[in-house]
Amino acid sequence: MTQATGRLIDGNALSKQLRAEVAQRAAALKARGITPGLAVILVGDNPASQVYVRNKVKACEDSGLHSVLEKYEAGMSEAALLARIDALNRDPAIHGILVQLPLPAHIDAHKVIEAISPAKDVDGFHVASAGALMVGQPGFWPCTPYGCMKMLESIGYDLKGKHAVVIGRSNIVGKPMALMLLQQNATVTICHSATKDLKAMTLQADVIVAAVGKRKVLTADMVKPGAVVIDVGMNRNEEGKLCGDVDFEGVKQVAGWITPVPGGVGPMTITMLLVNTMEAAERVAAA
C-alpha cells in the first residue's frame, strides 16, 4: 500500500454513489406507500447553521426523501422546542429528526437531544444511540464518523489488527469514531489536548483520524509512510479558504491514502444523514 504520494479518498465521488443507492431505496419504499421523511429544526439565525440545514434539506430532496425545515426565532423557549419535538416524534410521516446545533444559550441542548425518540435519532447523538454503539447493538451511528468508516470501506481497508489513532475525543466525532474502529478490530489510541507527545502516537498509526479543529495538527513528520489519513477538521486558512486539520500538501507525500478538505469527510456527513434517515424509514416499514 505504500507509495510515493497518497491516493485520494474522494468524498464527493463516494457520496454520489451512496446517494444513488439511497435514492433507489427511497423509490422502493415509496412504491410501498412510504416516503422517508426528515424534519430539520433550526433555532436562531447562525449563518453557518443556515447553510448546513439548507444543504441537508436539498440533499434529501435530491435523493427523493421528504424533508421539512422548521425555522424558529432565537428567542424560542425550550418548552416550545420540546413540544415541537414531541409532536414530530408522533408524526408518522417523519422518520428522522435533526436539531441543528448549536442552540441558543438559554436552551439545554442535551435535554433537547434526549427528547428525540431514539427511533428517529438520525444524528446519532442521543444517549441511547451512543449506548447502542458502545455495546454493538443496532442504533444510529453519528454521521461524521460513520462517513469516515465508509471511506475506509471504500478502499477495501481491513482494520483488523491495525493501529488507529484518533485525535480528538468529542461526543460527536472522536469518541464514536474510536468505538467504530474498535468494533472493526483495530487497536485504538485516542489523543486529545492533554496528550503529552502526539507525534509519538501518530507515528505508530496505520490509520489516523484528525478531528480537532486546528490547522496543521498533523504534519508529514508525524505520519508513518503508507498510513491512511482521514481529515475531519474544518478550518479556514489565512486566505479564508476551507482547510482541514492536516497539512495536506506535506502529508500526502507520506500517506498511503488521504482525504482532502474540501471534498472529503464533509460531503460524507450529509450522505450518512440520508442513509440513517432511509434506515429509520425502512425499520418502520419492516415493523
- The reply on whether position 232 binds ligand NAP by CB under 6 A is yes
Quick count: other Cβ atoms within 10 Å of Cβ 160?
A: 9
The nearer residue to ligand NAP, 94 or 205, going by C-beta atoms, is 205
Nearest alpha-carbon partner for 207 in 233, 222, 228: 228
Using CB under 6 A, pick the residue from 43, 113, 172, 254 that binds ligand NAP.
Answer: 172
Using CB under 6 A, pick the residue from 46, 195, 204, 219 that binds ligand NAP.
Answer: 195
- The reply on whether position 169 binds ligand NAP by CB under 6 A is yes
The nearer residue to ligand NAP, 76 or 217, going by C-beta atoms, is 217
| Nearest-approach distance from CB 210 to ligand NAP, in angstroms | 8
The span from the CA of 253 to the CA of 257, in Å, is 10
Query: Which residues 105-124 are close enough to bind ligand NAP by CB under 6 A?
Result: none
Rg (CA), the chain: 19
| Residues 251-270: x where in contact with ligand NAP by CB under 6 A, - otherwise, as a string | --------------xx--x-
Residue 256 has which C-alpha cell? 498511503
Angle, helices 143-154/11-31, rounded to nearest 10 degrees? 110
Residue 72 has which C-alpha cell? 424558529
- The reply on whether position 191 binds ligand NAP by CB under 6 A is yes
Size of the site for ligand NAP (CB under 6 A): 26
The nearer residue to ligand NAP, 84 or 163, going by C-beta atoms, is 163
- The reply on whether position 173 binds ligand NAP by CB under 6 A is yes
| Nearest-approach distance from CB 144 to ligand NAP, in angstroms | 4
On the 0-12 / 13-18 / 19+ scale of CB atoms within 10 A, 182 is: middle
Query: Which residues 61-80 are close enough to bind ligand NAP by CB under 6 A?
Result: none
| Nearest-approach distance from CB 274 to ligand NAP, in angstroms | 14
Using CB under 6 A, pick the residue from 43, 167, 201, 209 that binds ligand NAP.
Answer: 167
- The reply on whether position 286 binds ligand NAP by CB under 6 A is no
Chain residues binding ligand NAP by CB under 6 A are 144, 167-170, 172-174, 191-195, 198, 211-214, 217, 232-235, 265-266, 269
